[in-house]
Structure 1
Amino acid sequence: MSLACSSASDASTTAIPPLKTHCSNCNLRDLCLPCGMKPSDVGGLDELHFTRTKVKAGQALYHEGQPFRNIYAVRMGTFKSSLTMADGREQVSGFQMAGELMGLDGIANGAYASNSTALEDTEVCTIPYDQISSLAAASASMQQAVSRLMSREIVREHSLMMLLGSMNAEERLAAFLLNLSQRLKLRGYSASEFHLRMSRAEIGSYLGMKLETVSRTFSAFQQQGILEVDKRHIRILDAEALKRIFETRVH
């Protein structure tokens, strides 16, 4: 893959040699851009030769207000999306992992509406939006696939947040952990034991909870025998109990 990333000249990102793996044979194809596409359309994606870019932990892939040129597919690692509030505070708006897309919020106004920061050493595919648009214009099935893809990502970003408005602290954290567990399972990882890449403060920002409340709720779940917590390492001991906490509000 060979087109240059818009931020590849930034010290935070590094362009690396072309991929030998294309969309048609990538192990993330059922989660990422080719999902639901016809083989011929996936072949069209292979012709684009997307760039892959490494972003080190703590560094930005793009910033709020930066001109929009690309969408990004996470190949490896975890990112957080965030907004900068009027007083300078950060508001975390989402977490993305392998097979998920970032940058779609830049389509509407021609500039990214959020910041994207790597929570660990990461790698992304850089997808030039104008080339995807050209492919979609030439193929009705490709256009449908791209529209479906964008809709899926928007729903994924907002579905959990929509549920959080009326939830208490335990329900919010249960929803977050169940969502994370399901996403990890889809990627072939353990659904019951994992390492959190985000801090307690970042989880609190995302869930609308104070840091102290997040820590207290983790401790409460551990005391109830629902979780085993060792700093950022989480082991879910009673997934059904987590589901009951979450479903109490949903139903």
Structure 2
Amino acid sequence: MMENSPIPIDLDHLRRSCGSCALHELCLPAGIGTDDLELLDATVHDKRALDRGKTLFRQGESFHALYVVRSGSLKSFVESAGGDLQVLGFHLPGEIVGIDGLTSDHHMCSAEALERTSICELPYAQLQHVTGAVPALHRQLMRVVSREMVAEHEHMVMMGRQQAQERLAIFLQGLAVRYARLSRDPATLTLPMSRYDIANYLGLVMETVSRLFSRMEAAGILSVNRKAVRILRPDLLAELCGQSGTPYADHAD
């Protein structure tokens, strides 16, 4: 009796599938079954890389998909008719980009890679079908969308703070929380964005941001080496934010 021939394994697909992705726990609901994973894998239209400075989508373009950042980072921004830019946010692995297009079927902002970045494209029409068939995935998507809305609200609150140092402290602490969510060391930050982008996002001038980094380093709160920032005193950083304790402690390993 002849033995059955082994079924060939598509290793390339396995590496690209949602089930084998390192972001599985961030993007997908707990306990999602094999059949549902296969359905979702069939929905992911494209997994591709963007070089630094390349645009994922542009302000005014038609909306047709949501995007999950797999690695690297993006910034979103709007551009006025006069050419002035306003940075709206920075997006890390596990976060969804493109939600701005849900309201008008056109993107209200642009998204650009801050470094070499890989993304998963989820065509929205197909995604609606899958989330209708997998209620747990729909709830997860709503949770992620809600998180983006909360981040936008927090940014508005931060912009209402009059002290420039407080704005920068809240920004750094927010990054630490997001690092912890990714199981990264929340005290060791790598800032892929420029000082200009940070200043623009915080409503400050670049010289002020540079001066604030130096001041916080002199106070022993941070250690700064270009884009590498080490939080030495998270308690003092929290105090600058008007808080106590370290809000990312519960997320850290």
TM-score (norm 2): 0.84
Q: Distance in 1 between matches of 2:243 and 2:96?
A: 31
1:124 aligns with 2:119: yes
| Counterpart in the other structure of 1:35 | 29
Contact 1:23/1:29 (8 A) holds in 2:
yes
1:135-184 per-position Cα deviation (integer Å, ceiling 9, x unaligned): 22334444333323322222233323323312411110000001111211
Inter-CA distance 248–146: structure 2 relative to 1 (3 Å threshold): closer
Provide runs of 4+ in structure 1 moved above 6 Å.
none
| Counterpart in the other structure of 1:138 | 133
Contact 2:19/2:37 (8 A) holds in 1:
yes
Report the 3-state secondary structure (helix = DSSP H, G, I; strand = E; otherwise coil) of the residue aligned with 1:86. coil
Structure 1 residues not aligned, in runs of 5+? 1-16
Q: Distance in 2 between matches of 1:245 and 1:125?
A: 37
Q: How many residues matched? A: 232
Q: Distance in 2 between matches of 1:37 and 1:84?
A: 42
Q: Distance in 2 between matches of 1:18 and 1:25?
A: 9
Q: Distance in 1 between matches of 2:132 and 2:190?
A: 42
Structure 2 residues not aligned, in runs of 5+? 1-11, 245-253
Inter-CA distance 41–152: structure 2 relative to 1 (3 Å threshold): farther
Give 1:197 shift: 0.5
Q: Distance in 1 between matches of 2:223 and 2:178?
A: 20
Q: Distance in 1 between matches of 2:23 and 2:212?
A: 34
1:247 aligns with 2:229: no
Give 1:204 shift: 0.6
Q: Identity of counterpart residues, as a percentage? A: 34
Inter-CA distance 37–224: structure 2 relative to 1 (3 Å threshold): same
1:114 aligns with 2:109: yes
| Counterpart in the other structure of 1:70 | 65
Out of 221, 226, 233, the residue aligned to residue 231 of structure 1 is 226
Q: CA RMSD in A?
A: 2.1
1:162 aligns with 2:162: no
| Counterpart in the other structure of 1:88 | 83
Give 1:105 shift: 0.6
Amino acid in structure 1 at the alignment position of 2:29: C
Q: Distance in 2 between matches of 1:27 and 1:150?
A: 20
Report the 3-state secondary structure (helix = DSSP H, G, I; strand = E; otherwise coil) of the residue aligned with 1:219. helix
Q: Relative to structure 2, which stretch is displaced further, 180-189 or 19-28?
A: 19-28
Report the 3-state secondary structure (helix = DSSP H, G, I; strand = E; otherwise coil) of the residue aligned with 1:74. strand
Contact 1:37/1:142 (8 A) holds in 2:
no
Report the 3-state secondary structure (helix = DSSP H, G, I; strand = E; otherwise coil) of the residue aligned with 2:43. coil
| Counterpart in the other structure of 1:58 | 53
Matches within 5 A, 1:127-206: 127-206=122-201
Q: Distance in 1 between matches of 2:242 and 2:30?
A: 30
Report the 3-state secondary structure (helix = DSSP H, G, I; strand = E; otherwise coil) of the residue aligned with 2:174. helix
Contact 1:19/1:52 (8 A) holds in 2:
no
Q: Distance in 1 between matches of 2:169 and 2:52?
A: 27
Contact 2:68/2:94 (8 A) holds in 1:
yes
Amino acid in structure 1 at the alignment position of 2:186: A
1:49-88 per-position Cα deviation (integer Å, ceiling 9, x unaligned): 4310110001111100111111110011011000102321
Report the 3-state secondary structure (helix = DSSP H, G, I; strand = E; otherwise coil) of the residue aligned with 1:73. strand
Q: Distance in 1 between matches of 2:44 and 2:15?
A: 10
